[in-house]
Structure 1
Amino acid sequence: MQRKSEYIHLEFEEFQKIQTPLELHQLAQHCYFYIQQWIVESKYCSEATALMIFWNTTPYEYVRYSWKSKKGTNEDLDLIRTIINNFEKGFYLKTDIAYDPSEKIDAAEKIPEIVLQPAIGEEPYIYFDEKEVHNWFGDHLKNQIQRCDSSIELYNIAVFLKHKEFEIYEKVIAHPYCDRAIALMMYWRLEHYSTLSLYAEDWLSIRPLLASIEQKLKQQVYPEVFSYDPNVEVNPIKWNIPDYMFMKIN
């Protein structure tokens, strides 16, 4: 097996010649993604190797995907599911190869706990017309937001906002009548857009808005006026990483 670059390419026939867990582990550290799928399906794969590949795949990014997503929808999720399913079956070899995932776990970017906590308050009600709000844009929409003189009026605009100018979301979350429910609703609306490939180029605009909402929530800037539970409204976490994937293998 010749290493010609930082990452290794292999044909499947050459891969099949590898028949020791240590060789697979070394390969897993310097190979392209498609080879990792072969590795985690190999009968020579150790628990340590599978666990290393699992945490290198940044699994926290995929807990918002449905566990039952069709195979081929996302290659990273397919790899994650293969590893977890094989661990559950006791498929991987117990060897003297060690791996400690703690550093990867500590560095992983997780959904902030503060944006998962529900807002407690009155049940909001809708009195604006959805089609009418959807026809507002530009300065007119900004003026409508600016003129809101109550949280319920601001809520009625915010609930119907679609992906438009990011200045609009900034005006909502900075409005004096913005409460925790509205802030959380805006957070998850923006976070949803950030996960869509259609809006991938907008990440640099979305990220500061998400960070601003997180910070204000931590500082308890927003009052509790209306109720909003993101765990019910958007169900952000579709599955949890099993406890055994956090283990250290000596």
Structure 2
Amino acid sequence: MATPMSEEQLRTVIQGPIDVEWRYEMRRECQEILPGLLLGPFVASKSLETLLSLRVTHIVCIRDAKEAFSVRPRFPENFQYMVLDVEDNEEQNLIRLFPSAKKFIDDAIRSGGIVLVHCNGGISLSPAFVVMFVMQHYQLSWEDALHLVQNRRYCISPNGGFLTQIKEYEAIYKASVAHAAFPPPHRLAPRRKRSDDDDEDEQRIDDRKRLLVQCDSLEDEDAMQT
């Protein structure tokens, strides 16, 4: 989680660099979304020279299963990869897959690494993951997170289904933040109800005690008589 920022600092982060002029060919490149996190298309992951110049250490490869023959890790000996096989359509559940991707990115950045997240075109699928990551990282609304990513990679356009899940994820991450800040009070374990078997055991013990008392009384009477 990023260090809390003032409202003005957040506005500046969301706005991004204002001196960058977007060119059409930049859609074939990757862009830095936040320190340690890059977003781009698959073509950006095919140049070892480019990846090394960007000091990339980890790569999240998100692909449609039908693309597996071409969209795949190219340099497993040079980088740590996470591969997510999904379906690039509006029915694909991204929220279910997101926690493992977030952990991979968090661990990489925490260790001083730089992560490239890409899908085939870098337009819809991988940006959806990055928007969710940015949203939770800076604790933003989904609109602000989307604008932050768009202000750095202008060509992104998550499909309608992905956009709906991005909106849903805002409520999910905010609930987890609230739960972490205000955990439920510790409750004492309720006393175990006495079962019928327990009642029978106690009854046997009481009967045994009564029998011992009676025996002691009889022995005392015999002793007095003698």
Q: With structure 2 as the length reference, what TM-score do the two structures score?
A: 0.27
Normalised by the size of structure 1, how large is the TM-score?
A: 0.25
Q: Select the structure that is richer in strand.
A: 2
